[in-house]
Amino acid sequence: MAGLTSTRDDIRYGFAVGRVRVLQARLLSRSVYERLIDAPDFAEQLRVLSETAFGRYLEHAATAEDVERALDASLGDLYGEFLLEAGLPEAVVRFFRLPYDYRNLRAALKTRVLGVASPELSSLGIAEPSAFSGSGEGLPEEMAAILTAWDEAEEQPQLAELESVVDHALFEALAGEAKRSRVAFLRDLMTLRIDLANIRVLIRANAKSLPPSAVRGALIDGGTKRLLELAAEPGRMDAEEFAEAIVATRAVVGLEARDLLDLDRYDLVAAALEAGRMASARMAPSGAEPVLAYVLAREAEVVALRTVLVGRLVGLDRETVRERLRGML
C-alpha cells in the first residue's frame, strides 16, 4: 500500500515538482540577505531586491505598511499562480491559506473584545475579510463561534486567554487539513510545530510556577504525549532540571537543554529546526515533499524579508536584525 501511495503522489505532484525545480533557483540566497543587512539605507535595500522576484512588488514601497502590503501581494500570487494552478489537493491548499483566516480572527477579536485598533485584514485566507464582523456569517461554524464567544460575557478575557483560544483552534484546523491531505510530511511538520509550541508553553510555565490546571489548558493536543505529561511539573524543578526533563522526552530531536534556558535563544533554535526539516524535504526527488517545502520556503522568505526591511525602517541596528534572522536562513 505504501508503494502505491508513493506512486500516486509522484503522479499527482509531478507537474508541480517540475515547476519547483525551476522556481527554487529564484529563492533568495544567504548573500542577498547579507547585502540587505549591510545596505546603508532602505533605498539601497530596494535596489538590491530590484534584481530579484520581489522587485516588482516593492518598487514603490516607502513605509512599513507598504512593505507589508507588497509582501502579502507576493504571497497572493504564490497561492494563486502556484498552489491553485498546480492542481494540488484541496486540503493542501487550505493548509497554507487557513493561517490567514486565523490571523484575521485574532485581529477582529482584539478589536471586538478588547477595543484594540485593528490592522487591515488579510485577503490571503479562504474567508472574505468582511466576514469577520457581526455574527460571523460566511465563516466556518467553529470560527464564528470563537468570534462571538464573548459577546454576552460579563467579564472580558485577558489578551493571553484570547490568544490561546485562537492558537489552539488554528493548530487543530491545520492538523485536520494535514491529516486529510494524506501527506506524511505535513502531518510530521504539524507534530513538530505543536511540540515546539508546547515546549515554549512549558518553559514559561516553569519560570512562573503556574499550577498544573493552567499549564494543561495552555498546551495543544496532537503533539508528543510525553511532553503533555510534563504539565504537572512546572515549578517543581529549577530551570536546568526542567530543561533536561523536556529534552529527555525526545519529542524534538536536535534540542539541547541549554537551548531551553532563554526564550529568545529557544525561538531561534526552534526556527532553525523547522527550517532544517523543510530543507531536507526539498531534497526529495519526487512526490509532495519538494513541492510543499518550496511553498513553506517562500513563506519563510517573506517572514525574513519583513524582518530585515521593516527592521531598517523602524531603526533597528544591523546586529539586531542579523540576530533575528539567525535560524531563518
Give the CA distances from residue 111 to residues 105, 134, 163, 200, in Å, rounded to whole numbers and listed in that order: 10, 12, 13, 27
Task: Please tell me the predicted confidence (pLDDT) of residue 312.
Answer: 85
245-303 tens-digit pLDDT: 999 999 999 999 999 999 988 988 998 898 888 888 877 777 888 888 889 999 999 99
Q: Please give the pLDDT value at position 234.
A: 82
Neighbours of 22 (CB within 10 A): 8
Annotate 232-244 with b (16+ C-beta within 10 A) or e (fewer): ebbeeeeeeebbe
Examine the pLDDT at 2 and tell me if it is beyond 50. no
Residue 324 amino acid letter:
R
Of 17-31, 117-131, 305-319, the poorest mean pLDDT is in 17-31
CA distance 314 to 170: 30
CA pair distance 80, 188, nearest whole angstrom = 26
- For residue 10, the model assigns a pLDDT of 58
Average pLDDT over residues 226-255: 91
Distances (CA, A) of 5 to 12, 34, 181: 10, 42, 12
- In the predicted model, is pLDDT for residue 24 greater than 80? yes
- Mention every residue, 6+ apart, whose C-beta is less than 8 A from residue 272: 326, 327, 328
The predicted pLDDT at position 160 comes to 86
Residue with cell 522556481: 23
> Per the structure block, which three cell numbers stand in for 140?
466556518
- pLDDT tens digits along 183-206: 899 999 999 999 999 999 999 999
| Predicted confidence (pLDDT) per residue in 112-155, tens digit | 998 888 778 999 999 999 999 999 999 999 999 999 999 988 88
**Long-range contacts formed by 281-288: CB under 8 A, 24+ apart:** 281/185, 282/24, 286/9, 286/10, 286/13, 286/14, 286/17, 287/6, 287/9, 287/10, 287/13, 287/17, 288/9, 288/12, 288/13, 288/92, 288/181, 288/183, 288/185, 288/186
Over residues 53-105, the pLDDT tens digits come to 999 999 999 999 999 999 999 999 988 878 777 777 899 999 999 999 999 99
